[in-house]
Structure formats: structure tokens, C-alpha cells
Structure 1
Amino acid sequence: MTPEPEPTDRRTDPAPRMRAEDRRELVLTAATTVFGERGYVGTTTDAVARAAKVSQPYVVRMFGTKEALFLAVLERALRRLVGAFRGAVAENPDSPPQEMYQRLGAAYSELLTDRGLLLSLMHAFVLGSDPEIGRAARRGFLEVYRLLRHEAGFSATDANTFLASGMLLNTLIGLRMADDFDDPDVRDLIECVAPTKAEVLVRMSRAERI
């Protein structure tokens, strides 16, 4: 995939005393937010640089292309998601199925405040036709499914239900459905999908509108 031409700018790069891994995390955090809001096609490395308060050439030096940057964002998002699930499983690997299901659901709910992370995953999942991004997204999705089946001990039906609920929740976040929480049907939908996190979604929505 050919990287798009983008304007350079004169923003300064991070302080040289910052560790390399911290500089990388700074850019990836900003990129996660921008990709989440604008999608892959709508994002430029210049927009990421502005969000990270660094220069566009600095972002290109670090990642090379927009595609490579998005793949790094996807890898980071999947690492956080899988890490959250494995942490929940490790709390009590021998939990009965319903308890394990609830604990993994709670772990997923804790990621709701990172809107960019969840939406970046969604954007990756609709790019299945892209040779590189599609391959990485399929691999990541399958890793999550295998974790549910073989580490959490979910049945195939429970794993599918869990994934379907998570994707519905992501859709509600992408739609900013909580913006219309005063509508009784919207409230009913959100409280059904995320009964313990409805207030969190509403607070996020109100904070974003300020």
C-alpha cells in the first residue's frame, strides 16, 4: 500500500531524554485516538503528529508508513485486550463457566474508557480485504476466540455470544449512542448491553461534548 503524501510541519519532537519506548508509546496513544475517531482512510500521519505534539517526519521516521503505524496500533490494542482477558482468567482458572463469563465481561468493560482502542479494533475488523491489515486483524480475532475457548473454557456457543455482545457494545460506542441516553429506548438498549457501565458511557459522552 503506497503511503499518502503529507505535509511536514515544524513541531518539535519529544525531549531527547525520553526513553525510546516512551516516545513510541506517546505516538501510539495519539494514533489510537485518531484512528479510532477517523478510521484508517481518514487518518494521516500528520494528524497523528498533531495529536502527539511531534513533527510529522518524526512519526514517519519511527513507523515508516501509515499502514505500519496502524498495524502497530492494532497490535497494541490486541495486546491490551488479550492481557485483560488473561488477567481475568488467572484470577481463578477453575471458576465455573458463568462466573468466568462475568469476570471476562467485567475485564472488557474496564476498557470502555479507551474509546480509541475499541474503535481502532473495529476499523481493523472491516479491513479484511487489505492484504496486511486484514491478515493481522483475522489473526488477532482468532487469538481472542481461542483464548475464550481453550483458556477461559467457554463453550463455542458462549464464546460466540460473548464476542457478539462485545461487538454490539463497540457499535454503540462508535455510534455515540449514549449521546441520546434521555431517549427511553436508548437507555433500555445501553442498560441491557452494559448494565454496570451505562453511567460510564454517559459520562464519556457528556465529557466529549464539552
Structure 2
Amino acid sequence: MVRMSAEERRESVIRAAIAEFAQRGYFGTSTEAIAQRVGVSQPYLFRLFPGKKAIFAAASLRCIEDTCRILEDAAEGLEGDEARHAMANAYVRLLTEHPETLQMQMQTYITVAAAEAEGDHAFGEAVRAGWMKLWGTVHLPLGADVSDTTTFLAYGMLINTLTAMGFPAEHQVWQGMYPSARITGRLEK
């Protein structure tokens, strides 16, 4: 049996945390469930991360990083409408192939709001910094136009919302969207 390095275990924990938190949220997920999914003990889990908040933050930020990487790859060498269409297609593919990404995004927004309401601003600051990286990722390929960047991200949030609510691809709420934005079927929970 090949032993994993601490970094490989850490990566396994982040992926397991995304799957668990995406389904049950921050408050509904136990660190025990994450440890079991990875096949490690809870004490080992806490050697890799200082606590549940740190695990959730790593999972949330990983989703943002993955989204940025996918959009960067899609827009490479493209500008304007070509970049917009390539990034839109890549984002819809991401949500279709990895529904946990959308679910984790939605759980992240809820958790930021809850933390902010309790006076814990550190998590929100980290997520907002990640969001600004996402903003920058789409800004340049769209011609560094603030309006185009805002519109692109607004459509992305609309896609997130309609998909999370389970609207099928043929529903009228999708009319007027870029055709590839229609995600077929409901995202599985």
C-alpha cells in the first residue's frame, strides 16, 4: 500500500469536504463525516487543519480557484465575445459535470452571511478576496470593461440560482439566456 503525503491527504480532505459541505452545509456537516470519507481519524484531520472553519474555508476557496482556472483556460488567447462564449460554455460544463461546485458555492454564500451576522468577518474577507480574483479572471478577457464583467458575473449568479432551484432546461425562465447556459436536468444533491 502506497502512503500518501500530508499534502496529498490535505487535498483528499478538501475534496471530501466539498462533497460533504455541498450536501449538508457548514452546520449540518460533521468533521467525523469528512474524516470517514477520506479514511482518516478526526485527530489526523485536525493535524492537517486547525478546525472545521479552516476545512470549510479551504473547500470554499478551492471551488473559487477551480472556477477561476476553468475560466482562464477557456478564455486563453480569446477576447470579447469569443472569450465570453468560451467562458460561459466552460462554466456550464463545470456545473453540469461537477454539481457539487454549485452546491458548495451556495453553501459558501449562506455561511458568509451567517458568520458576518455573528461578527466573524475573517471568512467573508477571504471569500470576497476569492470573488475578486474571479472578477479579475473574467475582466481582462472581456476587454477590461466593468459593465461587461458585471453582466457576465450577474448571468453566472442567475444560472446558479435557476439551477439550484431545479428549473429544467426547457422552462421559460431560461429564455433569453445564452443557449449553453441551460443546464439540462436538476443538479443532484
TM-score (normalizing by structure 2): 0.81
Task: State the alpha-carbon separation in 2 of the partners of residues 67 and 16 from structure 1.
Answer: 30
Contact persistence 1:115–1:173 (CA under 8 A) = no
Task: State the alpha-carbon separation in 1 of the partners of residues 91 and 60 from structure 2.
Answer: 16
CA apart distance, 1:197: 6.0
1:146 to 136, 142, 163: 136
Q: Tell me the residue number matched to 1:70.
A: 56
Q: CA 1:153/1:25 → structure 2, altered by over 3 Å: closer, same or farther?
A: same
Q: CA RMSD in A?
A: 2.6
Q: Tell me the percent identity.
A: 32
Q: Tell me the residue number matched to 1:8.
A: none
Matched, 1:136 2:133: no
CA apart distance, 1:67: 0.6
Structure 2: stretches of 5+ with no match in the other structure: none
Task: State the alpha-carbon separation in 2 of the partners of residues 67 and 140 from structure 1.
Answer: 16
Q: How does 1:1-210 map to 2 (within 5 A)?
A: 17-90=3-76, 92-93=77-78, 95=79, 97-112=80-95, 113-126=97-110, 127-128=112-113, 129=116, 130-175=120-165, 177-178=166-167, 181=168, 187-190=171-174, 193=177, 195-196=179-180, 198=182, 201-202=184-185, 204-205=187-188
* Residues 125-134 or 80-89, more deviating: 125-134
CA apart distance, 1:18: 2.1
Structure having greater relative contact order (Cα 8 Å, sep ≥ 6): 2
Task: State the alpha-carbon separation in 1 of the partners of residues 178 and 37 from structure 2.
Answer: 30
Task: State the alpha-carbon separation in 2 of the partners of residues 58 and 162 from structure 1.
Answer: 41
Task: State the alpha-carbon separation in 1 of the partners of residues 35 and 158 from structure 2.
Answer: 31
Q: CA 1:102/1:37 → structure 2, altered by over 3 Å: closer, same or farther?
A: same
CA apart distance, 1:203: 7.2
Letter in 1 for 2:160: N
Q: CA 1:88/1:16 → structure 2, altered by over 3 Å: closer, same or farther?
A: same
Aligned residues: 182
Task: State the alpha-carbon separation in 2 of the partners of residues 37 and 172 from structure 1.
Answer: 18
Task: State the alpha-carbon separation in 2 of the partners of residues 59 and 191 from structure 1.
Answer: 46
SS at match of 1:64: coil
